[in-house]
Structure 1
């Protein structure tokens, strides 16, 4: 197939592009600039790369027509954040025969009634990001349900993790000191009882799911799928396992959220609150059964790989892992 990937040099694209090229597809990589992808791979030499300012071209009404003019068999859109942008792309691809795989987020769910939550359950998105992605999903699936509509699917990743960028830590935020305390065997305060959950996914597993979706279009079309590790992590269990990466036993304290917030910055406390208020835990049963999705990484393995990279390449004083 001829596949256009929008947002090709991001976290997932570094894994997705080599996967698609390796499977024999012709790939056109769209990005805002010519920055190098997160992962070097010889596959990039076989890819047509185009620099496109989506915001500017959406405003001018030229982005969707530009993508359609590339005559794709499939389009993978990793960086659509507003329903207005999604609507323009859908209108341009309608009638072309192309298949669209759109990137969503598990944050389209609010607080869950039961876990792991299924794709159609508890759709109470929070925040501008989650609300926008939920509206995009509605547009895409409504389009796919029309008799003359575009064949399309939406994939909902969790906390995308891997080497090359910070990872949501055991306190539910991005504070590097969390890793340093665990590595040193120092006390770490977690909010409440530490039983709230996080649901990571390795970037390569997200790439796997998008490859499966475009290669199994009849199974994917008209549906949304969660794309996460098989099981979510509790904050407490995450911290205890992570301490072992440095041969330590976790020394944990627990405090109501307002007291926990006093142990970190206002920004990091807000990130924690966003995560623990949702405590995501999403089912992958639909993706497994219909697409054959089989994540290679557990949530802990995805986080460990990210932290190992930060320890070697970062400047936050995270020591090298010893176990």
Structure 2
């Protein structure tokens, strides 16, 4: 198959493109050519690269036509964030593509009422990112039902891996949390540390896209959670990372109203977004219909990413 990957040089694409090449597909990578894959792989030598600035092309009204002109059998869209962007592309591809795969997010659920959350539960999205992604999913599934458009939606959790710092045990992206844990220093967590985060290694996300293509009849017209086997509580996450560094956990807990005063505005905003969502997704559907089998637990994915960051920054790791 001829596979077009939109946004193919990012973290998911770093692992997805080589997997597609290995599976025997002819791959076209669409990007702005402003970044290189996070990890070098021989497979990239056989990949066709096409430079398109999506935002500018969409402003000109010709993005969908440009993608359609590449004559892909399969389109994988990793960087679609608004319903308007999705509709413009899908309308251009409706009569030509054999399989269209969209990268969504666990944020489409908003807060959870029952956990682990399944794909068919009531949605409570909040925030522009989650709301827009939920609208995209609804549009794609509706278009499939009305016109038979061959859409599949995959919803990753907190993506991580070498080159991409994970959401930390405080629910934000400040790397100093990991540095303090490595030194055996105290960290302060909001509330009781019982909110959850649900990571997934970028290679497992890539695996899921390939599985969805291989199981086309089971995946079209469906959405799937793509996360690790289990979510982590912030407290459990911090404790396990401390032990990974050969330290005993030193944790302090403060009510949200007090905790937010101790951190930067950016850390506060990110932490609130993560703990307000507290994702915990079921992967039963993906396992049953796609044969999705994540190689990494949440901790394994995080540990690999943190070790890579420490090595790159020259930070001592006691592990």
* Cross-structure match for 2:42: 42
Preserved CA contact (<8 Å) 2:75 2:97: no
* Cross-structure match for 1:141: 141
Preserved CA contact (<8 Å) 1:94 1:150: yes
Structure 1 runs (4+) deviating above 4 angstroms are none
Which sections of structure 1, spanning at least 5 residues, go unmatched?
none
Q: Distance in 1 between matches of 2:34 and 2:98?
A: 26
Distance 1:110 1:34, change over 3 A: closer
* Cross-structure match for 2:60: 60
Preserved CA contact (<8 Å) 1:93 1:150: no
Q: Distance in 2 between matches of 1:60 and 1:177?
A: 42
Preserved CA contact (<8 Å) 1:170 1:178: yes
Let me know the Cα RMSD of the aligned residues.
Answer: 1.1
Q: Distance in 1 between matches of 2:246 and 2:51?
A: 46
Residue 188 of structure 2: SS of its match in structure 1? strand
User: After alignment, is 157-166 or 258-267 more displaced?
Assistant: 258-267
Q: Distance in 2 between matches of 1:132 and 1:242?
A: 34
**Equivalent runs, 1:68-107 vs 2, <5 Å:** 68-107=68-107
Preserved CA contact (<8 Å) 1:230 1:299: yes
Q: Distance in 1 between matches of 2:290 and 2:175?
A: 36
User: After alignment, is 181-190 or 15-24 more displaced?
Assistant: 181-190
> Following TM superposition, by how much is the alpha carbon of 1:34 offset from its aligned partner in structure 2, in angstroms?
4.7
Distance 1:98 1:34, change over 3 A: farther
> Following TM superposition, by how much is the alpha carbon of 1:120 offset from its aligned partner in structure 2, in angstroms?
1.8
Post-superposition Cα deviations, 1:182-219, rounded to whole Å, max 9, x if no partner, equal 11111111111111100000000000001111221111
* Cross-structure match for 1:184: 183
TM (normalized to structure 1)? 0.96
Post-superposition Cα deviations, 1:138-174, rounded to whole Å, max 9, x if no partner, equal 111111112x331111000000000102210000001
Residue 85 of structure 2: SS of its match in structure 1? helix
Q: Distance in 1 between matches of 2:62 and 2:114?
A: 43
Post-superposition Cα deviations, 1:18-48, rounded to whole Å, max 9, x if no partner, equal 0000111000000012521111001000000
**Equivalent runs, 1:122-137 vs 2, <5 Å:** 122-137=122-137
Post-superposition Cα deviations, 1:294-320, rounded to whole Å, max 9, x if no partner, equal 000000000101100110113xx7x33
Q: Distance in 2 between matches of 1:72 and 1:214?
A: 14
* Cross-structure match for 1:19: 19
Q: Distance in 1 between matches of 2:297 and 2:20?
A: 23
Residue 262 of structure 2: SS of its match in structure 1? coil
> Following TM superposition, by how much is the alpha carbon of 1:237 offset from its aligned partner in structure 2, in angstroms?
0.5
Aligned residues: 319
Q: Distance in 2 between matches of 1:216 and 1:95?
A: 21
> Following TM superposition, by how much is the alpha carbon of 1:69 offset from its aligned partner in structure 2, in angstroms?
1.4
Q: Distance in 2 between matches of 1:38 and 1:131?
A: 29
Residue 262 of structure 1: SS of its match in structure 2? helix
Q: Distance in 1 between matches of 2:154 and 2:104?
A: 6
> Following TM superposition, by how much is the alpha carbon of 1:122 offset from its aligned partner in structure 2, in angstroms?
2.9
Residue 29 of structure 1: SS of its match in structure 2? strand
> Following TM superposition, by how much is the alpha carbon of 1:263 offset from its aligned partner in structure 2, in angstroms?
2.1
Residue 33 of structure 1: SS of its match in structure 2? coil
**Equivalent runs, 1:102-117 vs 2, <5 Å:** 102-117=102-117
Q: Distance in 2 between matches of 1:61 and 1:309?
A: 41
* Cross-structure match for 2:317: 321
Q: Distance in 2 between matches of 1:182 and 1:57?
A: 45
> Following TM superposition, by how much is the alpha carbon of 1:97 offset from its aligned partner in structure 2, in angstroms?
3.8
Preserved CA contact (<8 Å) 2:182 2:318: no
Preserved CA contact (<8 Å) 1:155 1:225: yes
Q: Distance in 2 between matches of 1:212 and 1:34?
A: 29
